[in-house]
């Protein structure tokens, strides 16, 4: 109700694109990944923070009444427990919008110079810190290296805008794959940062791998979801993504005719995302359940 969806969508897309272009311009040509772990991750941390700061400044200027939740600086009622925005619960009850930001999704790819990283910007209703208590209104994911911009609006479809090639910029509607047979399915997945969780994720991959066409680990949850929306992956699953990793991408999948299962939203360890065409998601959800892929908390 009440919100100018096309304007919000244009804002999300514009912010993701400009933040991404800034990150691309600012990435040093040669990042010394072998330098002490802290100094190489510092490069990414600095870029991540600068990107989120810039996004927050733009939002403060053009959407002063909205709330913001971001990977780097948190927000109202986040896992850090820092109540940054006073009165956030009241504001949410009053139908206030929250912008959910991942300033760089795919930070390890950004560090190594691999192309799969993106800026993810979503605008949601409800409380994105609680699984099941929110819904995306618009979402945009921009991958600066390829120049691909994915965006969606609730009930308004999902598109991929590509940069001008031979003088022509492209825009096409997104549609998930029609694949129903698991044996023909190309899956995407991702791994968390915790060693214990990773060991479990490896065990699940070992069980699934003989049953499907193949499994990719591209390194950006936001782009994995967009790949599903574009039919470049048949389905995707991952345990433990944060809400900023999937808030925009899941709307892109849904608006491309796919479904997203799992207690999405909130913080890691509590989500097992499964996204794709409904028949594959049904099969994969059951298989992952059998394999205990959600972990002890799931
Ligand atoms: C990570 C990426 C990765 C996924 C991890 C995320 P980050 O986000 O999306 O693909 O497997 O779960 O944490 O740390 O690059 O923003």
Using pLDDT thresholds of 50, 70 and 90, give the confidence band for residue 73: confident
Q: Are residues 259 and 168 in the same domain?
A: no
- The finding on whether 221 has its CB within 6 A of some atom of ligand 1 is yes
Q: Are residues 158 and 206 in the same domain?
A: no
Q: Are residues 13 and 156 in the same domain?
A: yes
Strand partners, 97: 125
In this structure, is residue 145 part of a structural domain? Answer: yes
pLDDT tens digits, residue range 226-246?
999 999 999 999 998 999 999
In this structure, is residue 137 part of a structural domain? Answer: yes
Q: E strands of 197-252, at which residues?
A: 214-216, 235-239
Res 297: pLDDT? 55
Is pLDDT larger for residue 58 or for residue 32? 58
Q: Are residues 146 and 197 in the same domain?
A: no
Is pLDDT larger for residue 131 or for residue 139? 139
pLDDT tens digits, residue range 212-222?
999 999 999 99
* Region class of 81: left (phi > 0), else alpha (psi between -120 and 50), else beta: left
Residues whose CB is less than 8 angstroms from the CB of residue 157 and which lie 6 or more positions away in sequence, other chains included? 173, 174, 255, 256
The number of the ligand 1 atom at minimal distance from the alpha carbon of 108 is 15
pLDDT tens digits, residue range 158-200?
999 998 887 777 999 999 999 999 999 999 999 998 899 999 9
The number of the ligand 1 atom at minimal distance from the alpha carbon of 224 is 10
Paired sense of beta strands 235-239 and 186-189, if any: parallel
Q: Are residues 115 and 259 in the same domain?
A: no
The number of the ligand 1 atom at minimal distance from the alpha carbon of 190 is 11
Domain around 274: 182-290
Using pLDDT thresholds of 50, 70 and 90, give the confidence band for residue 52: very high
In this structure, is residue 247 part of a structural domain? Answer: yes
In this structure, is residue 76 part of a structural domain? Answer: yes
Sheet holding 186-189, edge to edge: 214-216, 186-189, 235-239, 272-276, 259-261
In this structure, is residue 295 part of a structural domain? Answer: no
**Structure-derived torsion over alpha carbons of residues 217, 53, 69, 87, reported in degrees to the nearest 10:** 170
Q: Most confidently modeled of 49-58, 66-75, 84-93, 128-137?
A: 49-58
Read off the DSSP letter of residue 120: E
Report, as an integer, the average pLDDT of 61-84.
71
Res 130: pLDDT? 84
Res 298: pLDDT? 46
Report, as an integer, the average pLDDT of 127-140.
91
Res 263: pLDDT? 66
Q: How far apart are CA 289 and CA 58, in angstroms?
A: 42
Domain containing residue 165: CATH number: 3.30.540.10
Q: Are residues 133 and 11 in the same domain?
A: yes
Q: pTM of the entire structure?
A: 0.92
Q: E strands of the chain, at which residues?
A: 67-70, 97-105, 118-126, 134-143, 148-153, 158-165, 168-173, 186-189, 214-216, 235-239, 259-261, 272-276
Q: Are residues 16 and 108 in the same domain?
A: yes
Q: From atom 16 of ligand 1, which residue's Cα is the shortest distance away?
A: 105
Count of domains for the chain: 2
Strand partners, 216: 188
The pLDDT > 90 percentage for the chain reads 70
Residues whose CB is less than 8 angstroms from the CB of residue 264 and which lie 6 or more positions away in sequence, other chains included? 131, 132, 243, 246, 250, 271, 273
In this structure, is residue 296 part of a structural domain? Answer: no
pLDDT tens digits, residue range 254-298?
999 999 998 666 554 467 999 999 999 999 999 999 999 988 754
In this structure, is residue 297 part of a structural domain? Answer: no
Q: Are residues 189 and 166 in the same domain?
A: no
Query: Would you say residue 38 has pLDDT above 50?
Result: yes
The number of the ligand 1 atom at minimal distance from the alpha carbon of 107 is 15
- The finding on whether 267 has its CB within 6 A of some atom of ligand 1 is no
Q: Cβ–Cβ contacts within 10 Å for residue 91, how many?
A: 17
Report, as an integer, the average pLDDT of 28-38.
64
**Binding site, annotated residues for Mg(2+):** 71, 102, 104-105, 245
Q: Please say which residue of 152, 173, 194 terminates a domain.
A: 173
Mutating to test ligand 1, I would choose from 41, 71, 105 the residue with most ligand atoms within 8 A of its C-beta, which is 105
CA of 87 to the centre of ligand 1 (A): 30
Q: Are residues 165 and 33 in the same domain?
A: yes
Average pLDDT, the chain: 89
Using pLDDT thresholds of 50, 70 and 90, give the confidence band for residue 35: low
Domain containing residue 209: CATH number: 3.40.190.80
Using pLDDT thresholds of 50, 70 and 90, give the confidence band for residue 80: very low
Q: Are residues 139 and 239 in the same domain?
A: no
Query: Would you say residue 45 has pLDDT above 90?
Result: no
CA-to-CA dists, residue 72 to 47, 54, 68, angstroms: 11, 12, 11
Q: Are residues 189 and 85 in the same domain?
A: no
Q: Are residues 117 and 226 in the same domain?
A: no
């Amino acid at each position: 109700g009440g919100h100018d969806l096309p304007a919000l969508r244009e804002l999300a897309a514009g912010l993701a694109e400009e933040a991404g272009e800034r990150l691309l311009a600012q990435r040093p040509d040669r990042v010394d990944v072998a330098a002490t772990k802290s100094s190489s991750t510092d490069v990414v941390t600095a870029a991540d923070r600068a990107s989120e700061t810039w996004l927050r400044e733009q939002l403060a200027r053009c959407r002063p009444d909205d709330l913001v939740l971001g990977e780097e600086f948190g927000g109202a009622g986040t896992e850090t427990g820092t109540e940054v925005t006073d009165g956030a619960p009241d504001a949410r009850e009053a139908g206030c919008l929250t912008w959910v930001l991942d300033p760089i999704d795919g930070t390890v790819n950004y560090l190594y110079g691999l192309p799969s990283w993106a800026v993810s910007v979503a605008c949601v209703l409800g409380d994105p810190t609680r699984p099941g208590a929110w819904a995306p209104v618009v979402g945009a994911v921009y991958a600066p290296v390829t120049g691909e911009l994915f965006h969606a609006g609730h009930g308004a479809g999902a598109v991929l805008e590509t940069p001008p090639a031979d003088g022509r910029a492209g825009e096409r509607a997104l549609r998930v794959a029609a694949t129903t047979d698991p044996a023909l399915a190309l899956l995407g997945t991702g791994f968390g940062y915790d060693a214990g969780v990773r060991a479990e994720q490896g065990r699940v991959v070992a069980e699934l791998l003989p049953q499907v066409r193949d499994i990719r680990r591209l390194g950006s949850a936001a782009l994995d979801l967009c790949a599903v929306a574009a039919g470049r992956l048949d389905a995707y699953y991952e345990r433990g993504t944060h809400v900023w990793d999937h808030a925009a991408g899941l709307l892109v999948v849904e608006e491309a005719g796919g479904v997203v299962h799992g207690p999405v939203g909130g913080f890691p360890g509590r989500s097992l995302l499964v996204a794709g065409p409904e028949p594959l998601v049904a099969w994969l959800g059951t298989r992952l359940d059998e394999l205990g892929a959600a972990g002890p908390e799931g």
